[in-house]
Amino acid sequence: MAKFDIEISEVGPRDGLQSISTIMPTADKLAWIDALAAAGVPEIEVGSFVPASVLPQLADTAEVARYAREIAGLSVAVLVPNFRGAQNAILVRPTKMSIPLSVSETHSLRNVKRNHQQVLEEVKRIAQLVKSLPVDQRPKFEGGLSTAFGCTIEGAVSEDKVVELAVALMEAGCDEVGLSDTTGYANPAQVQRLVKKVWAAVGKEHLTGIHLHNTRGQGLANALAAVEVGITTVDSSMGGIGGCPAAPGASGNIVTEDLVFMLEAMGLKTGIDFDALFAARNILANALPNEPLYGFTPDAGLPKGFQRAL
């Protein structure tokens, strides 16, 4: 029997921490990741291989990733901005490696300082690097389509362009693509429409995950829409921390605790234990005492008699 129906990918240690000024001590990160894994979170994005001068909050990513790789059963994901980042990432043998390709070219230039063609060239080089590794050492390589639902800089984003770039990423050598609502523009109808369009172009097996922000309060509604249409992996961040430094006003990931409650209340297994999840939140709160944490479920508690999906 499968451990979960919907896979929760916790992105707080990367997307959450990169967007706040506080630098969490490495020891606290490791304790937090330990607690998340103990709660049953199946995948954790532990950091990003970018220069420390750009994101000092993530300067210890290699150390954190090496530690996380020793946790039995945990899928360890990392983000890389380019080929050099991928070279560094491969040294720690992550389970999954993602590169962002912003559908908004203006955002791409601001975020990774490369236009579409330049990013695709990086993808080709990374794909060749991955294929040069022994089969049992190859990370899953994902192309993340950032600003897929709209951009705070350019505004509306063409759905046809999203599909075109999804195809280009697969042709460049990615194993799969992901859709990201970097700026919190998406609505549930748009989520379902775009997922279906990308599936029609690259195949359902090559798009299984989605990354959503709650900037305009649509996060859980969009997650539900994605799950209902058939998406099986949803990114979220404990306490809702995070956003995108390169996109003005793009704050707020989906709160992991609220997402898990919604799914479990619907009878969908996540494999996550609530008591252990709340204990992990306490570690985060103690490590970041000056940062606000969000979420209704941690404040209200579980309903009387609530049972996890079995």
Report the SS3 class of residue 45: strand
Say what the pLDDT of residue 105 is. 83
Whole-number pLDDT of residue 3:
84
Q: Note the pLDDT of residue 272.
A: 97
How confident is the model at residue 220, as a pLDDT? 97
Give the pLDDT confidence score for residue 273 in this predicted structure. Answer: 97
Low-confidence ranges of the chain (pLDDT < 70): 1-2, 243-251
pLDDT, position 60? 98
Catalytic residue list = 244
264, with CB counted inside 10 A (0-12, 13-18, 19+), is buried
Q: How far apart are CA 184 and CA 150, in angstroms?
A: 8
**Alpha carbons 283 and 261: distance in angstroms, whole number:** 20
Interatomic CA distance for residues 112 and 92, integer angstroms: 22
Query: Alpha-carbon distance 283 to 296, whole Å?
Result: 18
CATH topology of domain 7-293: TIM Barrel (3.20.20)
For the chain, the domains span 7-293
pTM of the model: 0.95
Q: What is the pLDDT of residue 94?
A: 98
- Strands of 17-166 (E only): list them: 43-48, 75-79, 96-102, 140-146
Tokens coding 105:
């070219």
